[in-house]
Amino acid sequence: MGGNDTVKNRIALKDILFFVWPIMLANILQITFNFADTLVVGNYVSNEGLAAVGTASPITIFFTWGMNGLSLGANVLISRMIGAKEYERLDKAVFSAIAIGGVFGTVIALFGFLFSGKLLELVSAPADIISLSTSYMRIFFLACIGIGVFDFGASALRADGNTKDPTLFLAIAGALNVLLNLLFVAGFRMGVVGAAWATVISQMVGAILIVIRLMKGKGLVSLKPDIKLLDYDLIGLMLKYGIPSALQNQLFSFSNVMIQSSINSFGSTFVAASTAANAIEEYVYVFVDAFPLASLTFISRLYGAKDYKQIRRTTFMTFLVCGIGAFAMGLTIVLNGQTLLSMLSDDPEVIRMGMYRLRYVTLFLFLNGLLDVIVNSSRGMGMVNLPTIITLFGVCGFRLLYLYTYFASHHTPEVLFSCFPLSWILTMSMQLLLWIRRYREVCNMEE
């Protein structure tokens, strides 16, 4: 779809697959690189080092997911501009998007650097790893500048159907991250600090690559370095569309931060086990990330072109393929869980405890993908705030209530991890009802 002046009359499954395969490849590469990083830390540092990174992870994800969600506002706005053939405003939109990414990334980097220790205290990080976690986080947060620029630049390119270039740049940055981890952690024995610096350097390289690509001006979207293109009205619209997505991502990750606090209550060995299982679990996100993004991009473009009849069929196709793919991946991981976990740790307790997460979270992660496909379809149809409010109560609210009631009186790993699938089922049921209502409203607009 890159560079097309019109929306196709009929979006076929092959169009969706053509859009998502580079994103899926990017996810596979990124997750593999992250897995390699975990492998390096687990084998060349210690279980404490692995636990330190794992304890920091939900906090850092809270901020990075927030930026990623915010960048979807650029995707929605630019997709609609392309669908409505408002090409004359694209240069302003792209420049404004990159500006938002740089500013927000810098603010988050400064905040994280200054308050990493306090954030770890809030999640009750185990005393034997809090110093390591603090050192790791302070450096890691500097990467947020590059992450912000990359996310907004990638959203602009994907709105034009270009998913290949962001994939290539992720691959380059990820490979660099692994090489630097081997150099800093395995070679120079810098520990978790070396892992953090590897992330910072690789993310900055990724941001530079995407800016260079945008400045070359291929396709409909391009970056022209002219401050006069900064458009506060477009920034306002991007934030209007992006803030609900950012809040939803942060609600998910905030509840995960609270769950991390509960994971910490089982001790550093259990934290290491959950960290190892989570590194494997990330492979399910190959589907969970790609298809919701396709839903947002295609539905936004159809909505901008006033081609409402295709919305239901496109949403259903995306929903079905996402669910099948994510479930198959999750099942494969669970069936081979002990072998996979043994690659990250030779501690039998870490392997045994890690299986809890694989059985109760990884296997059901496809529900998260289905939920996000529906939510992004609603947002593509112009419904901005209600999906976020429902997620607030259905995910964050339910999980907090669950942790402080049922889990408090049934303090077991099985009970703890069960809150993930239960919250996804509850929230998806409500989001489906909302989607049906919005779709009917959109169809009535056409009459």
Answer whether residue 41 is part of any domain: yes
Across 268-281, average pLDDT? 87
Q: Enter the DSSP assignment of 397.
A: I
Question: What local confidence, expressed as pLDDT, does residue 1 receive?
Answer: 43
Question: What local confidence, expressed as pLDDT, does residue 2 receive?
Answer: 43
Across 165-172, average pLDDT? 90
Answer whether residue 242 is part of any domain: yes
pLDDT-derived band at 33 (thresholds 50, 70, 90) equals: low
Question: What local confidence, expressed as pLDDT, does residue 8 receive?
Answer: 47
Answer with the residue of higher pLDDT: 424 or 384.
Answer: 424
Dihedral over Cα of 73, 79, 85, 91: its sign: positive
Answer whether residue 77 is part of any domain: yes
pLDDT-derived band at 3 (thresholds 50, 70, 90) equals: very low
45: pLDDT strictly greater than 80: no
Range(s) of the domain holding residue 364: 13-446
6: pLDDT strictly greater than 60: no
Question: What local confidence, expressed as pLDDT, does residue 9 receive?
Answer: 53
262: pLDDT strictly greater than 50: yes
Question: What local confidence, expressed as pLDDT, does residue 34 receive?
Answer: 65
24: pLDDT strictly greater than 90: no
CB atoms within 10 A of CB 224: 13
pLDDT-derived band at 46 (thresholds 50, 70, 90) equals: confident
- Structure token pair of residue 357: 């997460």
Question: What local confidence, expressed as pLDDT, does residue 248 receive?
Answer: 77
Answer whether residue 4 is part of any domain: no
Residue 382 Rama label (left phi>0; alpha psi -120 to 50; beta): left
Locate all alpha helices (DSSP H) within 141-265, ordered by sequence.
144-159, 164-181, 191-216, 232-264
Answer whether residue 2 is part of any domain: no
321: pLDDT strictly greater than 80: yes
pLDDT-derived band at 167 (thresholds 50, 70, 90) equals: confident
Answer whether residue 6 is part of any domain: no
pLDDT-derived band at 4 (thresholds 50, 70, 90) equals: very low
Dihedral over Cα of 385, 431, 151, 119: its sign: positive
Choose the weakest-confidence range: 6-20, 99-113, 362-376, 412-426. 6-20
7: pLDDT strictly greater than 70: no
Instruction: Say if CB 144 and CB 110 are below 8 A apart.
Output: no
Work out the percent of the chain whose per-residue pLDDT is above 90. 54
- Structure token pair of residue 288: 């969970």
Instruction: Say if CB 150 and CB 207 are below 8 A apart.
Output: yes
pTM over 0.85: no
pLDDT-derived band at 276 (thresholds 50, 70, 90) equals: confident
Answer whether residue 176 is part of any domain: yes
Question: What local confidence, expressed as pLDDT, does residue 396 receive?
Answer: 86
Instruction: Say if CB 215 and CB 154 are below 8 A apart.
Output: no
pLDDT-derived band at 57 (thresholds 50, 70, 90) equals: confident
Choose the weakest-confidence range: 131-140, 188-197, 250-259, 306-315. 250-259
Q: What is the mean pLDDT of the chain?
A: 89
Angle (nearest 5°) at CA 196 between 193 and 197 = 90
Question: What local confidence, expressed as pLDDT, does residue 62 receive?
Answer: 83
36: pLDDT strictly greater than 60: yes
Q: Residues of 31-54 as b/e, b for ≥16 C-beta within 10 angstroms? A: bbbbbbbbbbbbbbbbbbbbbbbb
Q: Tens digit of pLDDT for each residue in 286-304? A: 889 889 989 998 998 899 8
- Structure token pair of residue 446: 């056409």
d(CA 327, CA 275): 21
Question: What local confidence, expressed as pLDDT, does residue 446 receive?
Answer: 61
From residue 105, give the alpha-carbon distance in Å to each of 102, 108, 134, 161, 344.
5, 5, 19, 25, 31
Locate all alpha helices (DSSP H) within 84-143, ordered by sequence.
90-122, 130-140
171: pLDDT strictly greater than 50: yes
Distance between the two ends of the chain, CA-based, in angstroms?
28
Instruction: Domain count for the chain, please give it.
Output: 1
118: pLDDT strictly greater than 70: yes
Answer with the residue of higher pLDDT: 395 or 359.
Answer: 359
